[in-house]
Amino acid sequence: MTHPEELTPRLEQVLTAVIEHHIATGRPVGSKYLAGHGGFELAPSTVRSELARLERLGYLSHPHTSAGRVPTDLGYRYYVDNFFRSRRHCVQDGGFGSGMGSGIEEALRFAASRLAGATGLLALVSAPVESNTAIKHVEVLQLHLDLVMVVVITVSGGISKKLVMFDEPVDRGLVDWARSYLNDSICDCDLGSRRLRLKLEEADLGPLEASFLRSLAPAFLDEPEGSAAGLYVEGVSRFFSLVELEAGGQVHGLMRLLDRHDEILRLLTSELMEQRVYLRIGREIPAAAMQGLSLVAANYGVAHRNLGTVGVLGPTRMDYETAIGSVELTARSLSRYVEEIFN
């Protein structure tokens, strides 16, 4: 999307009035209404002229069945990027973090439920992404003479296991050595990372130890089974009611999309490096089924490491102030939670 053109103060004022009235009512906004209720002293002819100019610039559109205007994706983008952000207030905690419970799954489910209730939108909370977390502890266990299990625990609380079968019995002393060596040398490395691979390959070891380590390496370098982040979704019924009112033709596409959590997870994890709340409005969202919607999201995690994402999905005609404030609050609460249990 092209960057919105800078508007004059009067055009900004008119655009703000249109967007906020449309968000509140869902109806197109006409010049007669704005002249009488827009909060500024402009003649109806002047308002009509400014509305027409905003439409030419791409900030408003003109439904064929109405004399009023409605915001476009570009209009909403200008609204949230400029004057809206400078005057919004911070949503208060209100004890948000007190019900998160003692386990990460319970905390994520609670966060999604609370976020859906606060915004009336579809709440999305992704579990920590294992491929983006560091190794906290390694266990190497000998289950049988020729069978070893490697258990990897990450700083996000994720656990992956891998069984390694050998052609000959394995010396128990070698197993104990590997456990100690790996905990000393590869903790704090990301699973599957180049840094981890170099540490495993460049180790100055004897032939026996090096061969044993090569056999265990897939436990750290391969994508762990079940490592894909989970997705917690709340507010589905109300969300579909809203979408059906706004754009009925999208409902079936969205239902199919929500059945495929991997599509939504890809969208959320693609922005995992973002440090602040971010918005994707309409056609800014890559998934075609979501291009009549807006996504407001923020990442949560521990110091210097984002682990997952909190977001809401809803019509472009959403209450952005409540959505942004609630998403920020949820991300902050989850960050405090994971800092406490993972560090």
Alpha-carbon gap, residue 215 to 104, rounded angstroms: 32
Q: Per-residue pLDDT averaged across 239-250, rounded? A: 64
Q: Which domains does the chain have, with CATH numbers?
A: 9-86 (1.10.10.10), 92-129+229-342 (3.30.450.40), 132-221 (3.30.390.60)
Sequential DSSP letters for 282-320 = GGGSSSGGGTTEEEEEEEEEETTEEEEEEEEEEESSS-H
Mean pLDDT check: name the lowest of 114-123, 207-216, 249-258, 282-291.
Answer: 249-258
Residue of higher predicted confidence among 249 and 258: 258
With residue 71 as reference, give the H or E element that holds it.
strand 70-71
> Bridge partners of 312?
123, 296
pLDDT at 329 over 80: yes
Reduce the secondary structure of 41-63 to three states and give it as a string: CCCHHHHHHHHHHHHHHCCEECC
Give the pLDDT of residue 205: 87
Q: Share the mean pLDDT of the chain.
A: 82
Percentage of the chain with pLDDT > 90? 39
Beta-sheet strand order (sheet of 135-144) = 135-144, 147-154, 159-165
194: its two tokens = 């180049």
- Return the amino acid letter for 98: S
Tell which wins on pLDDT, 302 or 330. 330
DSSP code of residue 72 = -
pLDDT at 227 over 50: no
DSSP state letter for 250: G
Kindly state the tokens that stand for 255: 């239902």
Largest separation between any pair of C-alpha atoms in the chain: 91
Q: How confident is the model at residue 2 (pLDDT cuts 50, 70, 90)?
A: very low
Among candidate residues 77, 5, 17, the one with its CA nearest the CA of residue 47: 17
Q: In Å, what is the CA distance from 235 to each residue of 177, 229, 296, 311, 319? A: 51, 20, 15, 12, 16
Instruction: Output b/e per residue, 176-205; b: 16+ Cβ within 10 A.
Output: ebbbebbeeebeebbbbbeebeeebeeeee
pTM, to two decimals: 0.69
